[in-house]
Structure 1
Amino acid sequence: MNHFQNILDYIEESLTSTIEIKELAEMSHYSLFHFYKLFQAVTGLPIKQYIIRRRLIHALYAIQKGREITATAFEYGFDSYSGFFRAFSKEYGMSPSNYLKSNSAMKPYKIQMDKERYKFMNQNQLRKLLSNWDFPIETIQAAIYPNTGNISEFVWEINDSYLLKAFENQENLNKNLTIIPSLPQDFTIIQTTKGADFLEFGNQWYLLMTKSQGNPWLSKNILSSSDYSGRFYGELIGQTSLMLKEITGDFPQTNLLETLSNWAFPVGSPFLAWENEAKLAYMDALIENHPKLDKQLIHRDLNSSNILLVDDSFTLIDFDMTEINVRIFDPCYFTTSILADQFSQEDFSEEKWFTLFHDTMKGYDEIATLTEIEKTSIPLVVIAIQLICVAYFTGYDKYSDLAKTNIAMTNWLIEKYEKLAFIE
């Protein structure tokens, strides 16, 4: 597998040069024939298609940053603009200019095979996969993360009516299979032609679901709009906590204190401008309070786009990270996710965010009554979440921008720590 990591790194560094497949095979120490087969088994794509896709990803990001399209096409190995246009349209289903009108190109990054498995599905592969369900396929498009405009690598929108989601482990699949039918959702899982709830294909698992009619909460609107108050969001998150508490199943149990002590604190804190005395006081307080905090099933990734408003109600999506943990993690995570999305924006308002933060906690308390120790521990959990984010994002090249943002906002939150206290 190390051979293939070296090959992926070499490809990434050589996208503006001529890449000889024979040379890559020699690097892998396999024959050309076996190299073709093994590369596709590892990445899910033929080697030539993989190289084209990586070139398109880099070229698209360069164009978004202001580079001239034709010059960029030549730079990344395309013989002409028309050749680049055809390759791009085949891959994305539209022209580069139309794509950038409604989507945001992700910053390219080196793929780290020891930390993530990539199965790149093209249109033909997806259509073959979808033949396991009984309905006509009209359009297939990668889903878009509403708060960032980035395309998803694991979720596709089918016919504007369905969502196909890939899972790289059965544990995350089983979480969704357990939770989705247990909640009052406005979407359902579609069975395959063989009557199964999911499809196993190529060492991955797939769910096909009807698309929710709900609308995601856009973080920029949450801070700028007066349509809903922080109490409203807090009340919905409180209702979420009460519903999740009633669901039983084989869910992982995470000890937040152990996560901090054994990983997030030692890995994340060196990136922060944090006085040693303050670090020690923080960990002492967490050690004291953590055993007394209520634990239950939580969503764990309750960012604003995972709660969809449906008329006068709401629906939840994406249960991959669901676990048993400190229950106030969810309202704290919701507010910090809004902060992460807006912190680097020129019009970011400290006053508006703190108003949202405190009102969300009050709204949560009105539905899922907070204990006194939970109220006291809200600042501790907020910083714990940020330490986890910093430790995680700094470990991935693809999250370098998120790492910078979270380091800056964590330092800001540490500076404003006293303002995170619960207000009665």
Structure 2
Amino acid sequence: MKSRKETLGVLGHWGLADEPITDIHPKGSGEEEARAFYVGDDCVLKCSGNLDEVKNAVALCEALHSADICVSPIIRTTDGRAYVQDSGLFFYMTQRIFGAQLSAQDFYEGDHATKARIFGEAIGKLHHALRQVTASVNDVNPYESVKDWALPTMKRVLPLPESFCQKYLHTFGELYDHLPKQIIHGDPNPSNIIVSHDKWGFIDFELSKSSLRMYDPCYAALAILSESFDPNDDAALSTWLNIYRNIISGYDDVMRLTDKERIALPYVIVAEQLTSTAWFSEQSGYTKLFETNKRIAEWLISVFDELGFDRIEEYGVVQESQAPSC
């Protein structure tokens, strides 16, 4: 990793050699390898040893910014380059987005339905812009992940009926090849959303990938649930179901889900939760998070019927899909 002092020499490429530079992730934060620095008050300098990673980040940021999506725009060097190479590392700079970062609790306060619908619309607009982006991101197949690893792992720690597992995998497998895929954000949790001048902006595209487009709105809803889950608070769980429906509904307003996507919604959201829980089950030091995620997985399976829709209208669900019976 390049030190802050060594990084100072790179700033001349942007005409910012005299600007102060500070670590975004200080020592002891566990994220030092993120290799990111604040430059002055308004800029962020990032570096990586992976040229493809840098090119993809630049392509995503520039394409989304030109599509009027609120993201951190790329700052080019004084001679017009998007990135520079120095001592085996590749550096690029973006402007900082100033605004309010969201939290899961924000969606439970006030008009939660409208907030959730706007969140879904924002993801839809992001995806609309990302469809025009060409970048060499990793391909991720959530069906293969849950079939080959997550579900077998979870069956060792969760009493899942074999009839449910077989029907779940059979139906999800039949649907998967018919579900639209594209480049997605990969981590649209509330902390990666910044509301700036009435625009909903996205930060941290490091986990971007090519996968089911449904992954992002489902992940967004799950992130809200994971930060607020209380199995004994029926009112909050009912509110979350409404938040989830409105995130999907807002996304559908922009991208228009296919018939098979509407059927697949509960399969995708359960796959995401099983994958997350299986990961925590294999990590040391995450016992509490594993137990919480295990309870979330159990609860999602218990309300499977309520997660699938034919068409989500503004005030509720027109038709629910059928769940694999437990």
- TM beyond 0.5: yes
The separation in 2 between residues aligned to 1:282 and 1:368, in whole angstroms, is: 26
The separation in 1 between residues aligned to 2:193 and 2:145, in whole angstroms, is: 26
State the Cα deviation string for residues 360-410 of structure 1 (Å, max 9, x = none): 111111111111111111000001111221233333336554333322211
Partner of 1:51: none
SS at match of 2:24: strand
State the one-letter code of the partner of 1:190: I
Residues 21 and 37 in structure 2, CA contact (< 8 A), matched pair in contact too: no
1:183 to 1:129, Cα distance in 2 relative to 1, 3 A: same
The separation in 2 between residues aligned to 1:260 and 1:357, in whole angstroms, is: 22
Which of residues 263, 280, 296 is equivalent to 2:182? 296
Report the TM-score, using the length of structure 2 for normalisation. 0.79
1:203 to 1:270, Cα distance in 2 relative to 1, 3 A: farther
Matched, 1:142 2:142: no
Higher relative contact order (CA 8 A, sep 6+): 2
1:318 to 1:376, Cα distance in 2 relative to 1, 3 A: same
1:316 to 1:408, Cα distance in 2 relative to 1, 3 A: same
Residues 245 and 296 in structure 1, CA contact (< 8 A), matched pair in contact too: yes
1:230 to 1:198, Cα distance in 2 relative to 1, 3 A: same
User: Alignment identity in percent?
Assistant: 25
Residues 71 and 203 in structure 2, CA contact (< 8 A), matched pair in contact too: no
How many corresponding residue pairs?
A: 297
Partner of 1:189: 74
Partner of 2:107: 222
Which of residues 126, 129, 134 is equivalent to 1:248? 134
Partner of 1:335: 221
Partner of 1:416: 303
Bigger CA radius of gyration: 1
The separation in 1 between residues aligned to 2:94 and 2:159, in whole angstroms, is: 45
Which of residues 390, 393, 396 is equivalent to 2:280? 393
The separation in 2 between residues aligned to 1:243 and 1:235, in whole angstroms, is: 12
The separation in 1 between residues aligned to 2:22 and 2:155, in whole angstroms, is: 43
Residues 132 and 193 in structure 1, CA contact (< 8 A), matched pair in contact too: no
1:399 to 1:207, Cα distance in 2 relative to 1, 3 A: farther
1:189 to 1:220, Cα distance in 2 relative to 1, 3 A: same
State the Cα deviation string for residues 88-138 of structure 1 (Å, max 9, x = none): xxxxxxxxxxxxxxxxxxxxxxxxxxxxxxx5x7xxx21321331132343
The separation in 1 between residues aligned to 2:95 and 2:76, in whole angstroms, is: 11
Partner of 1:403: 290
The separation in 2 between residues aligned to 1:192 and 1:386, in whole angstroms, is: 42
In the TM superposition, residue 332 of structure 1 has moved relative to its aligned partner by 0.3
Residues 206-355 of structure 1: pairs in structure 2 closer than 5 A: 206-226=91-111, 228-343=114-229, 349-355=236-242
In the TM superposition, residue 163 of structure 1 has moved relative to its aligned partner by 2.3
State the one-letter code of the partner of 1:284: H
Partner of 2:4: 126
Structure 1 gap ranges (5+): 1-118, 145-149
State the one-letter code of the partner of 2:274: L
Which of residues 162, 166, 180 is equivalent to 2:43? 162
The separation in 2 between residues aligned to 1:258 and 1:398, in whole angstroms, is: 27
Structure 2 gap ranges (5+): 310-316, 319-326
In the TM superposition, residue 210 of structure 1 has moved relative to its aligned partner by 1.4
The separation in 2 between residues aligned to 1:162 and 1:346, in whole angstroms, is: 45
The separation in 2 between residues aligned to 1:265 and 1:199, in whole angstroms, is: 44
The separation in 2 between residues aligned to 1:248 and 1:405, in whole angstroms, is: 38
Partner of 1:48: none
SS at match of 1:173: helix
State the one-letter code of the partner of 1:314: W
Higher helix share: 1
The separation in 1 between residues aligned to 2:300 and 2:287, in whole angstroms, is: 20
